[in-house]
A and B are shown apart, each in its own frame.
Chain A
């Protein structure tokens, strides 16, 4: 992959607000139906989870805390014995197919050897134990999913291309007498020739929408990481092509390439009709398939979005940055006709996001707008100061800043919603715009007189 030279990269102090990466259990336990997530750490983590997850916590979620107490920290208690006791209880009560230990800052600092203990306990319990170190020392918010998927990668079965090909040929031979079967099998084999595994956790309906997008180009997706069930993890190995659907999965991508010898397809992410089209085109080009009807399809989608585009065109937006979706969303916003002042982002992997950055550049050129400045590890305080002058029409930000900014007359959209809403694929472009335009559509005439509802001065 080639590196991009983008002059407007900056890096600030990293004093910004984001969710702790352990929040990934919130969507992952729902995605992987037979899993159980055990977060090993102190009360702080548990308190965060129960507040961040809101109502979900009351629905008997398949996650829990192994709460460290003073004795654990000072090593008076034996970690392995303690974890064994807790995991036995989980096995008895819930009987999961896999237990995922989420390491936190606490386990990092006291250097609890989760990776060392897991295989031992796995043998004794008879339940696979996957260890992901999703801690706030190293990662931000959605990167938690990245650590879990990277750990899962090692559990995927081996793909032996040679054996599978043999098997297919046998199948064709066996059914040679029936021409109908032969034909359909032939088509199936043609589809299956490409071993494409997509990685990134998406709601199953969105996953099947992306499946059908690629099937339309006669490329079938052979598996997803993660799968709906732990037992259905896709086979990986040499000859398997992998492609990410989310911008925050760089560790997973690296692990897939280096440890499982998969081929990574570096594409923009399928967010917005433009992103989805480029994503599919890139996959097609890798498999040497002539893409079919993509341009018409994209145009059609843009046409359907007309009413929303009317609202956003000419508006300006400021991404404070907290979930790593920012580059893709900024690119999509610019294509929709918005001006982007700043793209804050917790961490920028220029290699994994190369294609996305290139598309951003091309989009800027196409829409004749300047490249936005990209600020890695932003400083929220400085950002708020920077926001005063140009006063964007919309700030995409976390909940800690949303209400105070609204009170100062800046419309906001809560960034976390983009991680939970369905925004992937052409079909969901409308949903993404629905989110962006909601604060802009909300104008209340009777309140127009009071643009600022804060008593505090500009200072903070």
Chain B
């Protein structure tokens, strides 16, 4: 057992439900107690979804836990089949069904006999995988299922399209800015003369999955969801994939370069000419995206050497780290992720770009690390935003888990060239607001705040005398925390328990010498 207040990634069935409800006409049935269909609330409120979320619970109550579900799950499947005629019903295990050790496969086999819809159990182990891994796995499972079937039935068309085309894999409901990213990716591909073959799972239809291999290649914008599917398609159907996330100017260029290489492998045969994106990239970088110019402008000069802390999922944390370090000259003191399962990749990506890499699911560890570093800005999830609020450091939200305000109706992609503009705004606004705040402090604008240490830890056996405290209050806010900390460190080193004005001065003398 572990004591937990907060989790970054949700439980497995959330991931499965995200993938299932992203597809068109797929219904997920959860084998769960009353109240576990909370996913519907999240989707309906956060995404402001107009339609009923195609997820229902086959309710586990006292009777079920005592004598098993028996016919209940099967009846619920048949009922959904009749009422809504979905193409596929995904029977989703939850912690409850895994503890009850009910044989979901058996339910599925029996229900399939009578139902028009396909029925399949989601193949995820509740205790071993989290939301993201489960989503990745479920997507691969569905794709594999339909491709295998098409192959068996001989309906699989393995010829590639005449013009270059690509699949976009991994856009899903409740994904961070996924809808906007998808639009931007489509634009990026379109401008490069590549048509989009299919987008899965969001808005995808199972009937067309068999045509997935007709694309020239796959793109996987996010590492968390879709990579397994891309690897499967590469292995079984020889489809290459681009897994570079086109976030930031240099990675977008890298993405296009990889794409170029893949496309040209076919283009030289099919189109009898090679495509060249060099001009496109140059034009976009210089003029469409403002980010390159932005990092050259005076504004960005002021950011040089400023310190930041980054935390989020592997994709976003790694990309933002690269952008901050390489494209804006900001010093990244710590860059971490909660995707423990992908730690190796993450470490490799941010190698040499940051001082510390917290890979943890414990938000208090993240909070303490940030408090210790005292960066000028934080880029993280909603949790880091609140950590920032408590220690008075501005925060830009770059990754799930997020709130409803991170599902903006306006166009806010993180990917592609428009994405670079959005990210530039986000970075600049975070730092700028911090500067303004400090200027106000310097000129005594609202210097009525109580003295606070910028740390979250509660252990304090040091005693500040009232004179020392009022002396501390005279120090401008933006260095006050640091001076307080230095003084306390000095006091501890010298076994002083009461901090007087003299101790403060002594500490200052020591640190300046």
Chain A residues with CB under 8 Å of chain B are: 14-15, 17-21, 23, 40, 42-44, 46-48, 50-52, 54, 57-58, 61, 64-70, 72-73, 77, 79, 82-83, 85-86, 89-90, 93, 105-106, 108-110, 135-141, 381, 384, 398-404, 407, 453-456, 459-460
A-B contact pairs, 26 of them (CB 8 A): A15-B76, A19-B35, A40-B1, A44-B36, A46-B4, A48-B38, A50-B7, A51-B41, A65-B4, A66-B2, A67-B1, A105-B33, A105-B65, A109-B100, A136-B35, A137-B61, A138-B61, A384-B52, A400-B37, A401-B44, A401-B52, A403-B49, A404-B44, A454-B51, A460-B51, A460-B84
Interface centre among A86, A402, A403 (most CB of B within 10 A): A403
* Interface pair B33/A135, CB less than 8 Å apart: yes
Contact of B99 among A14, A47, A110, A456 (CB under 8 A): A110
Q: Told that A403-B48, A455-B51 touch, could you supply 9 new A-B pairs with CB distance under 8 A?
A: A43-B7, A43-B10, A44-B32, A50-B5, A52-B41, A105-B33, A109-B100, A400-B41, A401-B52
Q: Which residue of B lies closest to A110 (CB)?
A: B99
* Interface pair A43/B95, CB less than 8 Å apart: yes
Residues of A within 8 A of B13 (CB): 44
* Interface pair B1/A106, CB less than 8 Å apart: no
B94 vs chain A, min Cβ distance (A): 6
Residues of B within 8 A of A72 (CB): 1
Measured CA separation A135–B96 after assembly (Å): 12
Contact of B62 among A43, A137, A140 (CB under 8 A): A137
* Interface pair A20/B50, CB less than 8 Å apart: no
* Interface pair B4/A42, CB less than 8 Å apart: no
Contact of A67 among B4, B56, B389 (CB under 8 A): B4
Q: Which residue of A lies closest to B403 (CB)?
A: A54
Contact of B7 among A46, A70, A407 (CB under 8 A): A46
* Interface pair A58/B386, CB less than 8 Å apart: yes
Which bracket fits the contact residues of B?
35 or more
Measured CA separation A108–B34 after assembly (Å): 14
Q: Which residue of A lies closest to B47 (CB)?
A: A403
Residues of B within 8 A of A68 (CB): 1
Measured CA separation A162–B437 after assembly (Å): 66
Residues of B within 8 A of A44 (CB): 11, 13, 32, 36, 94-96
* Interface pair A20/B4, CB less than 8 Å apart: no
Residues of A within 8 A of B94 (CB): 44
Residues of A within 8 A of B51 (CB): 404, 407, 454-456, 460
Residues of A within 8 A of B33 (CB): 20, 105, 135-137
Chain B residues with CB under 8 Å of chain A are: 1-7, 10-11, 13-14, 32-38, 40-42, 44-45, 48-54, 56-57, 59-62, 65, 76, 83-84, 94-96, 99-100, 126-128, 383, 386, 389, 403, 458
Residues of B within 8 A of A15 (CB): 56-57, 59, 76
Q: Given A42-B95, A43-B11, A47-B14, do A141 and B35 touch, yes or no (CB 8 Å)?
A: yes
* Interface pair B1/A82, CB less than 8 Å apart: yes
Residues of B within 8 A of A455 (CB): 50-51
Residues of A within 8 A of B95 (CB): 42-44, 106
**What does DSSP make chain A's interface, helix, strand, loop or mixed?**
helix
Residues of A within 8 A of B54 (CB): 460
Measured CA separation A340–B113 after assembly (Å): 42
Measured CA separation A85–B1 after assembly (Å): 9
* Interface pair A404/B7, CB less than 8 Å apart: no
* Interface pair B52/A460, CB less than 8 Å apart: yes
Residues of B within 8 A of A135 (CB): 33
Measured CA separation A21–B33 after assembly (Å): 11
Interface centre among B14, B32, B52, B84 (most CB of A within 10 A): B52
Measured CA separation A93–B457 after assembly (Å): 11
Residues of A within 8 A of B96 (CB): 44, 105-106, 109
* Interface pair A14/B61, CB less than 8 Å apart: yes
Measured CA separation A456–B61 after assembly (Å): 32
Q: Which residue of B lies closest to A73 (CB)?
A: B99
A339 vs chain B, min Cβ distance (A): 25
* Interface pair B38/A65, CB less than 8 Å apart: no
Measured CA separation A72–B98 after assembly (Å): 13
Q: Which residue of B lies closest to A23 (CB)?
A: B35
Residues of A within 8 A of B2 (CB): 66-67, 69, 86
Q: Which residue of B lies closest to A42 (CB)?
A: B95
Residues of B within 8 A of A67 (CB): 1-4
Residues of A within 8 A of B386 (CB): 58
* Interface pair B44/A402, CB less than 8 Å apart: yes
A202 vs chain B, min Cβ distance (A): 23
Residues of B within 8 A of A398 (CB): 41
B71 vs chain A, min Cβ distance (A): 13
* Interface pair A57/B44, CB less than 8 Å apart: no
Q: Which residue of A lies closest to B46 (CB)?
A: A51
* Interface pair B100/A403, CB less than 8 Å apart: no
Residues of B within 8 A of A21 (CB): 35
Contact of B4 among A52, A64, A73 (CB under 8 A): A64
A22 vs chain B, min Cβ distance (A): 8
Residues of B within 8 A of A19 (CB): 35, 38
Q: Which residue of A lies closest to B54 (CB)?
A: A460
Q: Given A44-B94, A109-B100, do A17 and B50 touch, yes or no (CB 8 Å)?
A: no
* Interface pair A399/B44, CB less than 8 Å apart: yes
* Interface pair A90/B3, CB less than 8 Å apart: yes
Measured CA separation A72–B216 after assembly (Å): 48
Measured CA separation A47–B65 after assembly (Å): 22
* Interface pair A64/B5, CB less than 8 Å apart: yes
* Interface pair A86/B3, CB less than 8 Å apart: yes
Residues of B within 8 A of A140 (CB): 34-35
Measured CA separation A68–B35 after assembly (Å): 19
Q: Which residue of B lies closest to A136 (CB)?
A: B33
Measured CA separation A65–B362 after assembly (Å): 13
Q: Which residue of A lies closest to B57 (CB)?
A: A15
* Interface pair A403/B36, CB less than 8 Å apart: no
* Interface pair A69/B1, CB less than 8 Å apart: yes
Measured CA separation A355–B125 after assembly (Å): 49
* Interface pair B99/A109, CB less than 8 Å apart: yes
